[in-house]
Structure 1
Amino acid sequence: MVITNVMLAAGQLVISFAISFMIFFIYSDKPKEKKKNLIQETMSQLINFIIFIWLIKIILNFSIFIKAPLTILAYPSDSYTFYFAFLLNSIIFIYFNRKNKSDATDFTEAFTIIFLIASIIYELIQFISVNNNSSFGYLLLLSVILLIFLILQGRFKAKLLLIVISFLWSGGMLALLNIYPVITVFDYIIRPWFLPLFFIMSTLLLFLTIREGEI
């Protein structure tokens, strides 16, 4: 039963991001080759994130993994594994970006759009399939943030816009936590203390990976 639930969640996740990639590729006004590169880079970051989740899950449950490895791999990760993976992935992304002296403006904009669309699709599936009320609240929040992003894109510099989006997501999640007992992101429970950490880390990432001229 647990393995089935994990596979179903993984399938929903793959479908959500696959559709978001297609929507981004169809509607983005960037050159075709540029869109392909951005999608590939986003997929690479997502794969890295998933690898970090699995590695951290194994490290935190190493004694159990040695005795029954398939048991650990079959069970879903907890929220703390998600938090550690987010932190580690962000640090490594900043490191390599600074090392290569590259500008992450296009990637962070593309990733934001893809993440928001994938999240909307995922939460819509959750709301329809299991009638999750908190999914409906999060779905509304994501839709409003995506609409704001699309309206303001091109009117504000990338760094400022992305900081605003990060603030709206963090603040909106805090508001939802006052309405619903539990809020999840791709089935990972979000704790209140993680939201200010997310905002600080994402703002730091934006300042360190987007050129100064972009604000």
Structure 2
Amino acid sequence: MAIISKLIIISIIAISFALAFLVFYLMSSLPQKQRKKQIEEITSQLINFVLFLWLAKILLNLPLFVRDPLAVLAYPSNSEAFYLAALFTGGLLFYKARKRKIAGGLLAHSFLQVFLAASFFYEFIQLIWRENPFSFPYLPVYGLLLAVFHVLQGRVSRQSQISIVLGAGAAGFFAISLMLPYLSMFGYIVEPWFLALVLAACFGLLIKDPQDEPHSESN
């Protein structure tokens, strides 16, 4: 039963990101070629995150993995594995941005749009299909952030756009924390310090000029 429930969650996440990519492709102000390129890069990084999630799960349960690998691989990932996978992915992104293999600012801008849309669709599906009442407070927050993102698009710089949306997002999650016993992200319980770290990482990517293109293609 736990495995079936986990598969359902994975399916909802996949559907949410597929819809988010569609929204990004239709509403992004980037040229069509760049939109496709950003979708490919984000997809690549999401695949990296999933691989890192499996690696983190193994590292956190290494003694058990040595004795019984299947027991670890079949066990759902927890929040600690989620944190570690996010750390690995963030480290890889900063390395690639530093080596100019990706345009860090542009990727952060594109990913933020995809993330907000995917989060909105995920919570919407959770609320409507699975009747999860804990998803309701997230919908107005993600919906408002997505609306602000698109209103600002083309009117302010990418740096300012990201800064405003992230600042509003921090306020939104603080409001949610007052209503719910815990915060979650795609089904994983997350602590406020993790969200603060994610915000800091996004700002860090803005150090690179978002208009710069990487010297070489890399997925």
Distance 1:162 1:181 in 2: 28
Task: Please give the residue correspondences for 1:202-213 in structure 2 after superposition, counting only pairs within 5 Å.
Answer: 202-208=202-208, 210=210
Deviates more, 1:72-81 or 1:180-189: 72-81
1:58 paired to 2:54: no
Counterpart residue identity of residue 136, structure 2 = F
Task: Please give the residue correspondences for 1:37-76 in structure 2 after superposition, counting only pairs within 5 Å.
Answer: 37-76=37-76
Percent pairwise identity: 36
Moved over 4 A (4+): none
Residue by residue over 1:19-58, the C-alpha shift from the partner in whole angstroms, topping out at 9 and shown as x without a partner, is 1112222333433322211110010011111111110110
Q: Which has the higher helix share?
A: 1
Counterpart residue identity of residue 129, structure 2 = S
The structure with higher relative contact order (CA 8 Å, sep 6+) is 2
Q: CA deviation at 1:190?
A: 1.6
Structure 1 unaligned residues grouped into runs of 5+: none
Distance 2:118 2:200 in 1: 23
2:215 match: none
8 Å CA contact retained: 1:94, 1:205: yes
Q: CA deviation at 1:81?
A: 1.5
Structure 2 unaligned residues grouped into runs of 5+: 213-219
Q: CA deviation at 1:3?
A: 0.9
Q: CA deviation at 1:101?
A: 6.6
1:193 match: 193
8 Å CA contact retained: 1:134, 1:180: yes
1:143 paired to 2:164: no
SS at match of 2:137: helix
1:23 paired to 2:18: no
1:3 match: 3
Q: CA deviation at 1:106?
A: 3.1
8 Å CA contact retained: 1:134, 1:182: no
How many residues align structurally? Answer: 212
Q: TM-score, normalised by structure 1?
A: 0.90
1:178 paired to 2:182: no
